[in-house]
């Protein structure tokens, strides 16, 4: 079975009546994180302020997503698990890293939901920039969650280690009333070529080929960036990180594929979706730019699947596959801010 066929079959929403657990997804985007949970049988309820992302969620998932701008006063329905990706612009390595001073900070909202719902398990993801200038803020968030009675684990995980054909590092924080560990890495790397299949060699009238001026622009960008190799999509390895910027914008680091005749073109929405591990049946709403942005902002669904599976095993007392952090690793974690386990 080809990789994309496996994803199409594996990432299908369903409800596990034996599990019977409801998840509230804050800042849900187009539903990448929720899809991973629904593919494990969880019920989901989403909240997202972007209208087109909300439409995408509701078009593809069983659960309902509300098009709403969240505040610390928002009232939520009863839920067993709270997940989400609070806006990462305040902490992005590519941004200004203003942290608490950034009006886009979503963590006060996330924490207010935890206080209100008192879930069995919580999980949030964010960019690796949280471990840089604003690592103090992550510690404050963790201390607040610990004061609410949660054991906390966090790690800088790469989605490429969880069967996603892309290098995509994210800070994952998980909390529970009893200790829950992080999921094990999967001993399998998926290449861009395995994800795209024949799509990588196809093109149509609407394909966006590089012009001579664009080739020069990209060459100058790569020279200034001291790139050893062109930043094309190499089919024999996982892709580099997909972002809104390098998908939706005609920038020097845009994702592009080189055809057999030497021409280069930007990757399509469907190709970007496959590299982010979205199944082919998943349809995106809005303009092409809207769709690229939804993909670039999403949690890779297959990564989310493994995070959700880890939580499901915990809830069903199937803990043998959990990854336990050793004491020596904990010491290293505090030094490099890569991984942390409370208590």
CATH number assigned to the domain comprising residue 115: 3.40.50.150
Residues in the chain: 343
Average pLDDT over residues 113-133: 92
Which CATH number does the domain housing residue 201 bear? 3.90.120
Query: What confidence score (pLDDT) does residue 15 get?
Result: 97
Q: Are residues 111 and 248 in the same domain?
A: no
Q: Are residues 32 and 166 in the same domain?
A: yes
63 pLDDT exceeds 50? yes
Mean pLDDT score of the chain:
88
Q: Are residues 136 and 91 in the same domain?
A: yes
Query: What confidence score (pLDDT) does residue 146 get?
Result: 96
pLDDT, tens only, 232-269: 899 999 999 999 989 987 777 789 998 888 888 999 99
Q: Are residues 133 and 264 in the same domain?
A: no
Distance, in Å, from the CA atom of 338 to the CA atom of 138, rounded to the nearest integer, reads 12
Query: What confidence score (pLDDT) does residue 337 get?
Result: 45
90 pLDDT exceeds 80? no
Q: Which residues contact 187 (CB under 8 A, 6 or more apart)?
A: none
Q: Are residues 184 and 196 in the same domain?
A: no
Kindly list the distances between the CA atom of residue 258 and the CA atoms of 84, 225, 248, 299, in Å, as whole numbers in the listed order: 36, 20, 18, 27
pLDDT band at 339 (very low <50, low <70, confident <90, very high): low
Distance, in Å, from the CA atom of 261 to the CA atom of 121, rounded to the nearest integer, reads 52
Query: What confidence score (pLDDT) does residue 189 get?
Result: 95
Query: What confidence score (pLDDT) does residue 91 get?
Result: 55
Q: With residue 239 as reference, give the H or E element that holds it.
A: none
Number of domains in the chain: 2
pLDDT band at 116 (very low <50, low <70, confident <90, very high): very high
Query: What confidence score (pLDDT) does residue 164 get?
Result: 98
Q: Are residues 184 and 266 in the same domain?
A: no
pLDDT band at 98 (very low <50, low <70, confident <90, very high): very low
Q: Which residues pair with 24 in a beta bridge?
A: 45, 82
pLDDT, tens only, 166-178: 999 999 999 999 9
Percent of the chain with pLDDT over 70: 87
152 pLDDT exceeds 70? yes
Q: With residue 51 as reference, give the H or E element that holds it.
A: helix 51-60
Q: Are residues 55 and 196 in the same domain?
A: no
Query: What confidence score (pLDDT) does residue 336 get?
Result: 47
Q: Are residues 207 and 276 in the same domain?
A: yes
| Max avg pLDDT among 173-182, 211-220, 225-234, 274-283 | 274-283
Domain that holds residue 166: 3-188+300-341
pLDDT band at 93 (very low <50, low <70, confident <90, very high): very low
Query: What confidence score (pLDDT) does residue 22 get?
Result: 98
pLDDT, tens only, 294-323: 999 999 999 999 999 999 999 998 654 444
Q: Are residues 235 and 287 in the same domain?
A: yes
The residue ranking higher by pLDDT, 228 or 27, is 27
Report yes or no: 64 and 45 within 8 Å, Cβ to Cβ.
Answer: yes
CA angle 80, 60, 276 (to 5 degrees): 90
Percent of the chain with pLDDT over 90: 67
What angle separates helix 107-117 from helix 135-147, to the nearest 10 degrees?
A: 10
Report yes or no: 199 and 268 within 8 Å, Cβ to Cβ.
Answer: yes
pLDDT band at 227 (very low <50, low <70, confident <90, very high): confident
Query: What confidence score (pLDDT) does residue 298 get?
Result: 97
Q: Are residues 147 and 240 in the same domain?
A: no
Q: Are residues 229 and 332 in the same domain?
A: no
Q: Whole-model pTM?
A: 0.89
97 pLDDT exceeds 50? no
- Which residues are annotated as catalytic? 88
Q: Are residues 236 and 102 in the same domain?
A: no
Query: What confidence score (pLDDT) does residue 46 get?
Result: 98
192 pLDDT exceeds 90? yes
């Amino acid at each position: 079975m080809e990789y994309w066929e496996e994803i199409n079959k594996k990432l299908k929403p369903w409800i596990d009546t034996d599990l019977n657990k409801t998840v509230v997804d804050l800042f849900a985007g187009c539903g990448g994180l929720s899809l991973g949970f629904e593919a494990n049988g969880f019920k989901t309820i989403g909240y997202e302020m972007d209208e087109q992302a909300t439409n995408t969620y509701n078009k593809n998932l069983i659960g309902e997503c509300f098009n709403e701008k969240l505040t610390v006063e928002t009232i939520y329905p009863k839920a067993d698990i709270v997940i989400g990706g609070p806006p990462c612009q305040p902490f992005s390595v590519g941004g200004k890293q203003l942290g608490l001073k950034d009006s886009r900070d979503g963590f006060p909202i996330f924490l207010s939901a935890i206080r209100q719902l008192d879930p069995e398990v919580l999980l949030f993801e964010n960019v690796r920039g949280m471990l840089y200038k604003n690592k103090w803020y992550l510690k404050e968030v963790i201390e607040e969650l610990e004061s609410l009675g949660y054991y906390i684990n966090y790690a800088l995980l790469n989605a490429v280690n969880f069967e996603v054909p892309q290098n995509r590092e994210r800070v994952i924080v998980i909390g529970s009333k009893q200790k829950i560990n992080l999921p094990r890495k999967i001993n399998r790397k998926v290449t861009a070529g395995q994800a795209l299949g024949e799509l990588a060699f196809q093109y149509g009238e609407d394909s966006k080929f590089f012009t001579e001026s664009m080739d020069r622009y990209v060459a100058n960008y790569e020279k200034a960036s001291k790139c050893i190799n062109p930043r094309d999509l190499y089919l024999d390895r996982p892709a580099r990180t997909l972002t809104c910027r390098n998908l939706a914008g005609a920038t020097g680091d845009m994702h592009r594929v080189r055809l057999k005749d030497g021409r280069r073109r930007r990757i399509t929405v469907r190709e970007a979706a496959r590299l982010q591990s979205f199944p082919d049946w998943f349809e995106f709403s809005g303009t092409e730019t809207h769709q690229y942005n939804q993909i670039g902002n999403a949690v890779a669904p297959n990564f989310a699947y493994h995070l959700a599976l880890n939580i499901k095993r915990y809830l069903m007392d199937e803990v043998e596959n959990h990854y336990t952090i050793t004491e020596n690793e904990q010491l290293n974690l505090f030094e490099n801010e890569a991984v942390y386990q409370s208590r």
